[in-house]
Every structure is written in structure tokens, then in C-alpha cells.
A and B are shown apart, each in its own frame.
Chain A
Amino acid sequence: GAGVSQSPSNKVTEKGKDVELRCDPISGHTALYWYRQRLGQGLEFLIYFQGNSAPDKSGLPSDRFSAERTGESVSTLTIQRTQQEDSAVYLCASSQDSSGNTIYFGEGSWLTVV
């Protein structure tokens, strides 16, 4: 597709289970971002990939969170042993590079931990 695609759109999981969220960036975009947004809050930076450089993981809240990216393509955000506080929308975004081009967002994956 033409835009950033995220799946699943909605996920309900039991506390303690692992979840994987997927992001397909716009083709050709070398930069990819993950953000978390809790209900009624702003966007919280999680992780940033740029080409083959080491990712900026400075926003990951705990070692339960990890993300991978296959080349300049798909990225997966994994949350292990989910907690209720992990309930949020997880937004992925991509841009052509890191030089300040427009950043395009997917529709997000809404995670509910019960």
C-alpha cells in the first residue's frame, strides 16, 4: 500500500502474555519510528531505526520491550510478559531519511492488557 501499515489494529491480551506488533513502512523509507500513546496522553518515543545504523533504543521503557527491523523493511515491536500499564496505542511511522523529511504515521495498534 501507499501508507504505513500496522497490524493488528486491535489486540486484547491477558496479563503476562507476549505480544508482537508489526509495522510495514512506506517503500523506500529508511527511517522507522515506534511511539506509544496512552489514553489522553501525548506520544512517547520508544525506538528509532535509520538504515543500517544501530537503532536508538533510548525510549524503550523496560527490558520487556524490544524491536527488530529487517533491513529497510518490516519492523516488529515485541512486548514480553505484558502488564496492564502497557495498554496503549502503539504508533509506527516512517520517513525517507533522518534529515527532517515529513514523517508519516500508521493508524496504530491498540493494545489492551486485561
Chain B
Amino acid sequence: SQQGEEDPQALSIQEGENATMNCSYKTSINNLQWYRQNSGRGLVHLILIRSNEREKHSGRLRVTLDTSKKSSSLLITASRAADTASYFCASILGMGKLIFGQGTELSVKP
């Protein structure tokens, strides 16, 4: 089974609103990574947060990590239509196998 599970599966918001996506995982991790995917092609790395970090920022992105709850969240502030994409969390198992959740499909309406 997948290591990570995102919710919601789909999210539709208006431009300017904030979008929050959550991810839960099952086993201990060294780090958790968030990716974005447009139109079913290559994934773009957004943020890597290590297990000893609780929060990380990058521009309009904020990622939190709660290792006690085995969960992470990705917040996109002041969303734009160009943020429309699928967002995946991923964690590394064992000797480097990166396992993805099913993703959250975000739609930002202008």
C-alpha cells in the first residue's frame, strides 16, 4: 500500500484564497517531500522537510510536519490560477525508495 495519503482528493477554490492539503504517512521517515504535477507529466519538487523540522516556508508555500501524528500539510497562500495542478507528498522508505500518495487535485478558479 502507499506510504502517503493526501486529503482532500480534490479541492476547488477561488483565486486569492488559501489552499490547504494534508498528507498522512504510515512509517517513520527521514524527510517528507512535496511535489507538484501539471497535466500528468513530470513532477516539480516544491519543498523537502526533514523529520527534525516542524515548519518550512518557500515563497507562498508553507509546509508543516507533525511526526507524532505522522502527518504533514501544505498551505498555498494567495492562490493563483497558475497554481492549478496535482500536489503529492512523498516519503522515503528504507534504503531510498520514495513512495507517493494519491495526490490532491487543486483547481484555482480566476
* Inter-chain contact A31/B96, CB cutoff 8 Å: yes
B interface size (C-beta, 8 A): 26
Is A79 interfacial (CB 8 A cutoff)?
no
User: Of the candidates A31, A37, A97, A104, which one forms a contact with B40 in the assembled complex, judged by CB atoms under 8 Å apart?
Assistant: A37
Residues of B within 8 A of A89 (CB): 40-41
A100 to B41, CA, bound (A): 23
Instruction: Tell me whether chain B's interface is mostly helix, strand or loop, or mixed.
Output: strand
Is A65 interfacial (CB 8 A cutoff)?
no
A35 to B42, CA, bound (A): 11
- Find residues 37-69 in chain A having any chain B CB closer than 8 Å to their own CB: 37, 39, 41-43, 45, 48, 50, 53, 56, 58
A91 to B96, CA, bound (A): 17
- Residues of A in contact with B (beta carbons under 8 Å apart): 4, 31, 33, 35, 37, 39, 41-43, 45, 48, 50, 53, 56, 58, 89, 91, 93, 95, 97-100, 102-108
